Structure 1
Amino acid sequence: MAKRKQQRDAAADPYREREQSKYDNPVPSREFLMEVIADQARPLTRDQLARTLELEDPDALEGLRRRLIAMERDGQVIRNRRGGYVLVDNEELLRGRVVGHQDGYGQLAPDVGGQRIYISPRDMRMVLHGDRAVVRVTGVNHEGEPAGLLVEVIERANKTVVGRYFEESGIGFVVPSNRRIHQDVIVPAGEQHNASNGELVVAQINQQPTMRRQPIGEVIQVLGEHIQPGTEIETAQLIYGIPVEWPDAVMKELERIPDQVPEADKQGRKDLRKMPLVTIDGADARDFDDAVYAEPKPSGWRLVVAIADVSHYVRPGTALDREARRRGNSVYFPRNVVPMLPEKLSNGLCSLNPEVDRLCMVCDMLVTGGGEIRRSSFYRAVMRSHARMLYDEVAGILVDGDRDLRARYETLVPQLENLHGVYQSLRKARNRRGAIDFETTETQILFDDDGLIRSIEPVERNDAHRLIEECMLAANQATARYLQKQKLPALFRNHEGPDEDRLDNLNRFLAETGLRLGGGDDPQPGDFAKLLRSVQNRPDRHLIQTVMLRSLKQAVYHPVNSGHFGLAMNEYAHFTSPIRRYPDLLVHRGIGHVLDGGKGSNFPIGQDELLSLGEHFSMTERRADEATRDAEAILKCQYIRDKVGEEYNGTVTGVTGFGLFVELDDLYVDGLVHVTQLENDFFRFDPIGHHLTGERTGKVYRLTDRVRVRIARVDPDERKVDLAMLGSLDANGELEAPLDGDAGKQGKGGRKRPGKGGADKQRKGRRSRKEKA
């Protein structure tokens, strides 16, 4: 075997051009340093690295020192006891984010794909949920999952926690409301600051946990004994650490941004102000990212998707950019929004409001009659939205033929009909690809003047919703292809198919129902879609759909494209919502870099930084989902706490070893029927079949079963709705034989109500699907 070359010329750094554009005295890039360490196949000290790279200049040596410190801080390398740098994200060392579990153990979600790594309760004593850490893979645990030892904590995620303050034997502590944080925060004497026993408080963590002690902190805010109506959103923000206040530096930068688009900013852009672009959104939308236009062509359609040019206003390195990056995305609570960008931009200068000039980035596509994107181009433009339209209005024009609406929007009707034609073509391609369409019902919460829930209503999706969704998906797909063609470092929106374990569980479940998923060990989206179509007339179709949906992984942001399984696309990226998603803003900057004559090799953000950013934005997206679910849960508990004792029909939406989760008809609220509230029997849980089976009675409760329950207890502080099982419903919606004992009796102060909805109704509250993928 040839001897490995020891010297590497720093000039051979493939990212040298990028580094030279950023620094007066460039040092080897992070990527090149990692390549050198990997090439040497052994730990290297800083001196050894300097000799290997033939660095002798004092400035270069100092730059190397600082870069290695930064790489160590970011978890790219760690130092062993001899001072040698070792690569992370190899076969043994992995970095990622800690996911806590209330049972005391945890998992590391690696930055670089792969399966989560089990972290023992002993090692979890040193970290909290959300921390970033490096773990050494050591083998497998008792359930056969990869297991590891905690090597280093590289970032602390929790500066404050929300929980209840208690005192026992003279010792104060806060029990976190976030169940994933399983360690109590010790509060030394005198640091409780007027908090009383049992009150909800905000605690600041002054000392993070170690192997020998729990986190130590102080109470900085007392929230009271209970979560008061109107404070549920603030509470959720505090629990999940969502940034709300704007730093002073951001507000100062905003003062320098004009209220209107200056004429100078419009120069050098394509003028689309006469093109009848329109925005189509829901009635409650306040920021408008996208506008659309279509016209017929001999080979199909020209589709123009114009997106707010946020990158023109939010520049790298500014306080505004740093804060937007920290937030990652806007968070849409039931009654308000925590925006990624200040309202001056999100609802003002960047929003594509009607009849005003706005700067935009355009994806201009030629779509064939069969729905394929034949070609696309990107350019900067200035536009003027010709109308702010609602989904229901567009559907009324296109589907219902509403004469009044067609008269009101007479000049735009031909353009809307063109858009409908594009949608029909794109829909054909979607079906041909085998994209997976799961049937779900979204809900919206309606409030009264006091901020309390008046009702929870289903949202009916129509062709206007689907039209915009398909236009956005097409633009995102064209964007991903452009990024790859230009070899631009960027974040893709990846959605992987089921892994081996999930696929095995799904196939075992399907075998019990007499079904089989095509594709063998490597099923494709079309196999899922085909199976879904084949069960449309089966009474258990919702059960099958739910289990199939749960077999798929969550979509994530990653710098290496691996396609989108659910959409059956080989490449996919987020481009269409830079007002509310930072990954889209990064993509816009990449496109602008090329439009300005740049190349992928000198784009200022490298692959490894994108890897960390992708993990961060995937985390902020999950954080937003958890926070909004939490706020909704509190609101829904407050909504039904005066309904204790009432009876409802419902659908089983979850089956666990400790009971059933049931969604109540008309209320769209989930509650728990504890296993002790079922028949006088011992129930065994089958995680593969998603059912509980009574040993004595043989009674089976499955996912999507229809049941009748009584609301037994509601606790908004704990987000709990306890239900008592009254019995199963037959195919006609009638109560079968009641349970043993007092089943079917009316609770104190309650009344019987006939539940609505048949066995074919499955309702799930979800955010808008405009760009759900």
Structure 2
Amino acid sequence: MSQSHYDRQRLLEIMRHEGRKMLAADIMDRYGVPEGFRRPFRQWLKELQGMGLLSKSGQHYLLRSRPKMRGKLQVSTRGFAFVDDNAGKSAFLAPGSFKGLLDGDMVDVAIVRGKKGFEGLDPQLVERGRKKLIGRLRESHRGYILEPEDRRLEMLVTVEVGDEVPADGSLVRVEILDFDLNESVGRYGNPPLRTRLHEVLSGWPRQQLEILRILDEQGVDEGWYDAPCPVPAQAEDGGIHRVDLTGLPFVTIDPPDARDHDDAVFARWNEAGAELYVAIADVAGFVRPGSQLDERAVHLGCSTYLPGRVLPMLPDQLSADLASLREGVDRPVAYVRMQFDFQGQLESSDWGLATICSRADLHYDQVQDQIDGAADHPDPEIKDQVDALVQVARLLLGRRSKRGMLNLASEEPIWVLDNEGRPESLHLKSQRFSEKLIEVFMVTANETVGAKLMEADLPAPYRVHDDPQSERLATVLALTARLGLPPVSPKPSVLELNKLLNKARGLPSYEAVSGLLLRAMSRAIYYAEPTGHYGLSSPSYLHFTSPIRRYPDLLVHRAMRWALGDRPDKNLLSGDDLANACAQASRCERRSVEVERSVDRLFACMLLADRIDDEFEGRIRSVDTRGLTIALDEPPVHVKVPVEGIGGRWILDPKDQTLADKRSGRRYQLGERVTIRLIDVNISARSTTAVLIRP
């Protein structure tokens, strides 16, 4: 028995079960170490003491309390796993160290610093992530078992069936019950997972089946979307006077296919400068604390947007009707009014509840046409209002660019679907001024409300964004220096990074550099304290403008109502309640993002599924030890080229972000144009494989 075969997880379980300090001999007896292997085991105990996992009192060992991290278990098909917390920190878990746990579970782990970063020990289940699994039903000597299609589920899955048993090999969905901890099977010694047959998935269209699989993987319970939920007919004022603003020509500006209009804007010039109103659907008047609507919103956390489909945080009756700021209909809102001087400096602000009547449901294309001079709105009042909004937006954007607002230009994927919901094509949409207009108004309103809540000393869920991760940022800056771009400080300001990006614009490697810089950024999360938002250079940023689709915004509206006098029970969270709500909202947001990205990868695979052996042109987007990621010109999706598909003996140069062949000296670098041939598409795994045929 070599030291490499000792199981730290087993040792932890033994010592935690004993609950006392133990002599080395007692530990070895419990562990079952043979006489001839006791000396190396004693050495291993000393190593664990040096790592800080154990402490020693005289001749006795005891478990040392370790910092804990709560996060989501991410299992690899290669047997190991990581635990990722809300802020982006990861801890490695060795194969076999997370028995009785599933990919997607929320766990607590003790963390120690290993040779290559943090290691997680003694994972404890907090909440089961997945509730259901999809796979093939098989009959075996143990009864019925499931062959999961997810290769990360390396375990025996038993299935309880009813009186009507599906045919052997049927594709089924099962409900997870629990693990049988009295038995261990397989190469990692996992206990069998007990499940119950939920439904037979016969006749499902492929894309619907795969989206259902994604929702199950991420623990999204569709029952919340289908369950009846009573919706009040009108918003409660909570004793607050509601101002009549129906005389002002508010407009909404949204994508053409928007179903929920949750914000409206109005701007005008006066003798002191520019006045801007941002009015937001008064969702807090409908969704009261402790109601069924509130319970649903807490659980879902946010809306999830898929191609051709929305999974709404709140029922359609509310989000797309009663609270939606539809044209020509009086609607209750919460508003913030901001007065700026002629340089864009905020001079004063106030907030309250009001009633507005939107004059027009505009979409971005209409507004952009007027900005470009292609077509004005036929209603003179609406045309003048759009002109005023554009002028005020330019004023605010000019001031914000001087202060700092990270400009990592990204393109939004727009999927075109056929009548069956299958992807037909994909194009990428760049942000235009009409989108920037709404963005700067919403950011400014969020910042203003955050400052007012801070001034009132009221607790709220702030949106915080820490400084970039130093190691990843150092890699990006070293690369840009080698590309001949001007050097920046090791801890650059947002202004410095924007200048760097502007210099890189136009280079073949610009998109790759921008992508690396994005990955170097810390993950924005919700937090109970205003610790600042790096990307926006803001000390007190929060989300106020989308309570229809984000629960933290709803909490901010309740805090605002508290300041205005609406103070029912539980209307204002604080202390541990607020901290827990922030953590829950961050987890829900992360889950929603993972669902959206997984569906994008699924549709990319479906788009390429019938193009095996076709050749494609593209650029190298990223490199790692496993190979290259290629951004194709058309369709604009990413495919993987493993090192086996390149030929040669390749090593990664992390400083240059290149793959180099030891023998020939050939190097592949970011931004380089290549030609690839597609050799495999795995729709269920949402993966593509290609080989390089021309550099």
Look up the match of 2:126: 154
Look up the match of 2:519: 550
Q: Is the 8 A contact 2:263 2:281 kept in 1?
A: yes
Cα 1:336/1:694, change in 2 over 3 Å: same
Match of 1:694 among 661, 683, 690: 661
Match of 1:205 among 176, 191, 205: 176
* TM-score (ref. length: structure 1): 0.75
Look up the match of 2:266: 293
Q: Is the 8 A contact 1:442 1:458 kept in 2?
A: yes
1:624-643 residue pairs with structure 2 within 5 A?
624-643=592-611
Given the alignment of the two structures, is residue 101 of structure 1 paired with residue 78 of structure 2, yes or no? no
Q: Is the 8 A contact 1:125 1:209 kept in 2?
A: no
Q: Is the 8 A contact 1:295 1:301 kept in 2?
A: yes
Sequence identity (%)? 29
Match of 1:666 among 629, 634, 653: 634
What is the one-letter code of the residue matched to 1:300? G
* TM-score (ref. length: structure 2): 0.83
Given the alignment of the two structures, is residue 508 of structure 1 paired with residue 482 of structure 2, yes or no? no
Q: Is the 8 A contact 1:162 1:239 kept in 2?
A: no
Cα 1:668/1:401, change in 2 over 3 Å: closer
Cα 1:173/1:482, change in 2 over 3 Å: farther
Match of 2:504 among 519, 524, 535: 535
Cα 1:191/1:700, change in 2 over 3 Å: farther
Give the C-alpha shift of residue 460 in structure 1.
Answer: 4.1
Look up the match of 1:486: 456
Match of 2:218 among 240, 251, 258: 240
Q: Residue 123 of structure 1: SS of its match in structure 2?
A: coil
Cα 1:373/1:123, change in 2 over 3 Å: farther
What is the one-letter code of the residue matched to 2:177? N
Given the alignment of the two structures, is residue 386 of structure 1 paired with residue 380 of structure 2, yes or no? no
Give the C-alpha shift of residue 175 in structure 1.
Answer: 5.5
Q: Residue 200 of structure 2: SS of its match in structure 1?
A: strand
Give the C-alpha shift of residue 197 in structure 1.
Answer: 6.3
Cα 1:146/1:219, change in 2 over 3 Å: same
* CA distance in 2 between partners of 1:691 and 1:463 (Å): 36
Q: Residue 610 of structure 2: SS of its match in structure 1?
A: helix
Q: Is the 8 A contact 1:361 1:380 kept in 2?
A: yes
Cα 1:667/1:152, change in 2 over 3 Å: closer
Give the C-alpha shift of residue 128 in structure 1.
Answer: 2.7
Look up the match of 2:417: 447
Q: Is the 8 A contact 1:172 1:189 kept in 2?
A: yes
Look up the match of 2:368: 395
Between stretches 461-470 and 150-159, larger displacement belongs to 150-159
Cα 1:672/1:196, change in 2 over 3 Å: farther
Q: Is the 8 A contact 1:93 1:134 kept in 2?
A: no
Look up the match of 2:645: 677
1:391-430 residue pairs with structure 2 within 5 A?
391-402=364-375, 405-406=376-377, 408-430=378-400
Residue by residue over 1:280-328, the C-alpha shift from the partner in whole angstroms, topping out at 9 and shown as x without a partner, is 0111111001000001133321110000000101111111110111011
Q: Is the 8 A contact 1:226 1:717 kept in 2?
A: no
Cα 1:503/1:263, change in 2 over 3 Å: closer
What is the one-letter code of the residue matched to 2:559? G
Cα 1:166/1:554, change in 2 over 3 Å: farther
Q: Which runs of 5+ in 1 are unaligned?
A: 1-89, 729-773
CA RMSD of aligned residues (A): 3.0
Cα 1:129/1:488, change in 2 over 3 Å: farther
* CA distance in 2 between partners of 1:571 and 1:237 (Å): 34
Give the C-alpha shift of residue 230 in structure 1.
Answer: 4.2
Residue by residue over 1:588-639, the C-alpha shift from the partner in whole angstroms, topping out at 9 and shown as x without a partner, is 011111111769x996422212222222211211211221222233333223
How many corresponding residue pairs? 624
Cα 1:299/1:92, change in 2 over 3 Å: farther
What is the one-letter code of the residue matched to 2:214? A
Given the alignment of the two structures, is residue 220 of structure 1 paired with residue 205 of structure 2, yes or no? no
Match of 1:464 among 429, 434, 443: 434
Q: Which runs of 5+ in 2 are unaligned?
A: 1-63, 185-190
* CA distance in 1 between partners of 2:459 and 2:482 (Å): 46
* CA distance in 1 between partners of 2:365 and 2:438 (Å): 13
What is the one-letter code of the residue matched to 2:615? E
Give the C-alpha shift of residue 345 in structure 1.
Answer: 0.2
Give the C-alpha shift of residue 392 in structure 1.
Answer: 0.9
Cα 1:164/1:725, change in 2 over 3 Å: farther
Q: Residue 411 of structure 1: SS of its match in structure 2?
A: helix
Look up the match of 1:44: none
Q: Residue 124 of structure 1: SS of its match in structure 2?
A: coil
Residue by residue over 1:26-64, the C-alpha shift from the partner in whole angstroms, topping out at 9 and shown as x without a partner, is xxxxxxxxxxxxxxxxxxxxxxxxxxxxxxxxxxxxxxx
What is the one-letter code of the residue matched to 1:146? F
Give the C-alpha shift of residue 363 in structure 1.
Answer: 1.1
Q: Residue 693 of structure 1: SS of its match in structure 2?
A: strand
Q: Residue 577 of structure 1: SS of its match in structure 2?
A: coil
Q: Is the 8 A contact 2:481 2:487 kept in 1?
A: no
Look up the match of 2:98: 124
Q: Residue 260 of structure 2: SS of its match in structure 1?
A: coil
* CA distance in 2 between partners of 1:263 and 1:585 (Å): 14
What is the one-letter code of the residue matched to 1:433? R
Give the C-alpha shift of residue 245 in structure 1.
Answer: 3.0
What is the one-letter code of the residue matched to 1:127? L
What is the one-letter code of the residue matched to 2:691? A
Cα 1:633/1:609, change in 2 over 3 Å: same
What is the one-letter code of the residue matched to 2:264? A
What is the one-letter code of the residue matched to 2:109? V
* CA distance in 2 between partners of 1:247 and 1:229 (Å): 19
Look up the match of 2:692: 725
Residue by residue over 1:713-771, the C-alpha shift from the partner in whole angstroms, topping out at 9 and shown as x without a partner, is 2232222322232212xxxxxxxxxxxxxxxxxxxxxxxxxxxxxxxxxxxxxxxxxxx
Q: Is the 8 A contact 1:175 1:184 kept in 2?
A: no
Match of 2:158 among 181, 184, 187: 187
Q: Is the 8 A contact 1:233 1:333 kept in 2?
A: no
Cα 1:603/1:517, change in 2 over 3 Å: farther
Q: Is the 8 A contact 1:200 1:222 kept in 2?
A: yes
